[in-house]
């Protein structure tokens, strides 16, 4: 049967009724990929799965929350939506708003959004506004605008975003065969994601779909690790632009998810992120964006410090597609060789 998107598939767990117009791009149902080669480098005694959210229609998990946020906005008769974004929320909001026939406004930190994400927002016809500040500054502005005007905020402060995003946890359990992993690795930026997945696991357990809960293992980048350091970071810096956030909106919920699940929130350096990013591409054939590689770096770090238990099932969410940020590759790879169009020249380079 054709997959009809997150709302139809998980309707009974979501705040929708027959009156809710379903605005969907058939998001969700992303692959849960067993990563044995990467696992062998880390700890041969565990099972490692990567949930590839880059396979969503706009290339990130943001579509899971956006389908619900835009559908509920449409139900309320909204004509316009607004968000602040490091890029992926903007891309997703722009696409779903286009489909709903709504105006989308997106505020992005000037010069800090990856090219792929910016192109998406533009092609879907969003009003793209670059502010001379960071994500946190942009979020403060859109919050105020949405309070003063009939324009719906579709950042993860919008509860429907979280409700939709929790479907990612449902899918992990369904794909593992009605069970939860022992630990769930995930990047932490504005922290709506870790909050949503933890909520999803808890609801699935309450509904009797799974028997246990995973430990939630959240990862920030060292230059943008307010939760780990315990204070707001005024000028967050990391190559992982999707988690370049200094004052997460769901800070308390992220801390609670880690505490309640007996997990943790920790950080990795940009070097560790880039190493994981390369490894994934080179040995598993999976291309994700730098922020998505942060929890993979986290798995490597955790295995070297604390260590997993034998037989643990470890799931890592790869939040976004590598093509979102193609420039990053060109910074770290050798340029293609330029040759004359002659067999001899090609053979020589290939060592044949
Ligand atoms: C949004 C996003 C994150 C972080 O999610 P938060 O809810 O902000 O913590 C991580 N990776 C990617 C690719 C994202 O788009």
Mean pLDDT of 173-186: 98
Which ligand 1 atom minimizes the distance to the CA of 186? Answer: 10
Q: How far is the CA of 251 from the centre of ligand 1 (A)?
A: 13
Entry pTM: 0.96
pLDDT at 315: 98
Q: How far is the CA of 189 from the centre of ligand 1 (A)?
A: 6
Q: How far is the CA of 345 from the centre of ligand 1 (A)?
A: 45
Q: What is the pLDDT of residues 155-169, one digit of tens each?
A: 989 999 999 999 999
Residue 58 tokens read as 């706009």
Residue 261 pLDDT grade (very low, low, confident, very high; cuts 50, 70, 90) = very high
Examine the pLDDT at 244 and tell me if it is beyond 90.
yes
Residue 230 pLDDT grade (very low, low, confident, very high; cuts 50, 70, 90) = very high
Nearest alpha carbon, ligand 1 atom 1 = 242
pLDDT at 210: 98
Q: What is the pLDDT of residues 296-335, one digit of tens each?
A: 999 999 999 999 999 999 999 999 999 999 888 988 888 8
pLDDT at 328: 87
Cα dihedral 191, 195, 197, 202 in deg (nearest 10): 170
Residue 285 pLDDT grade (very low, low, confident, very high; cuts 50, 70, 90) = very high
Angle at 232 between CA 231 and CA 237, to 5 degrees: 115
pLDDT at 332: 87
Nearest alpha carbon, ligand 1 atom 14 = 242
Mean pLDDT of 140-163: 96
Q: Do 198 and 216 form a contact (C-beta atoms < 8 A)?
A: yes
Examine the pLDDT at 1 and tell me if it is beyond 90.
no
Question: Cβ < 6 Å from ligand 1: which residues?
Answer: 60, 62, 88, 156, 187-193, 242-243, 289, 291-292, 319-320
């Amino acid at each position: 049967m054709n997959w009809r998107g997150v709302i139809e598939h998980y309707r009974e767990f979501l705040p929708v009724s027959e009156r809710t117009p379903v605005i969907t791009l058939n998001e969700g149902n992303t692959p849960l990929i067993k990563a044995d080669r990467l696992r062998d480098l880390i700890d041969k005694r565990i099972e490692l799965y990567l949930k590839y959210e880059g396979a969503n229609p706009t290339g990130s998990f943001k579509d899971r929350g956006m389908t619900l946020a835009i559908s509920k906005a449409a139900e309320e008769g909204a004509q316009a939506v607004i968000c602040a974004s490091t890029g992926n929320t903007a891309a997703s909001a722009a696409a779903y708003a286009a489909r709903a026939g709504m105006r989308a406004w997106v505020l992005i930190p000037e010069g800090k959004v990856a090219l792929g994400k910016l192109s998406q927002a533009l092609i879907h016809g969003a009003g793209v506004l670059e502010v001379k500040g960071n994500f946190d500054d942009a979020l403060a502005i859109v919050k105020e605008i949405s309070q003063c005007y009939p324009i719906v905020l579709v950042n993860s402060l919008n509860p429907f975003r979280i409700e939709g995003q929790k479907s990612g946890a449902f899918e992990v359990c369904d794909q593992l065969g009605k069970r939860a992993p022992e630990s769930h690795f995930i990047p932490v930026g504005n922290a709506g994601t870790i909050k949503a997945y933890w909520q999803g696991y808890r609801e699935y357990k309450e509904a009797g779909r799974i028997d246990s809960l995973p430990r939630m293992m959240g990862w920030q980048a060292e230059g943008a690790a307010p939760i780990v350091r315990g204070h707001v970071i005024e000028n967050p810096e990391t190559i992982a632009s999707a988690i370049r956030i200094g004052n997460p909106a769901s800070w308390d919920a992220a801390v609670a998810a880690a505490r309640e699940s007996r997990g943790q929130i920790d950080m990795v350096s940009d070097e560790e992120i880039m190493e994981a990013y390369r490894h994934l591409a080179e040995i598993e054939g999976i291309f994700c964006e730098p922020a998505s590689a942060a929890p993979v770096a986290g798995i490597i770090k955790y295995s070297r410090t604390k260590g997993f238990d034998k037989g643990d099932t470890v799931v890592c969410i790869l939040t976004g597609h590598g093509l979102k940020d193609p420039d990053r590759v060109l910074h770290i790879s050798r340029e293609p060789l330029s040759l004359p169009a002659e067999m001899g020249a090609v053979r020589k380079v290939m060592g044949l």
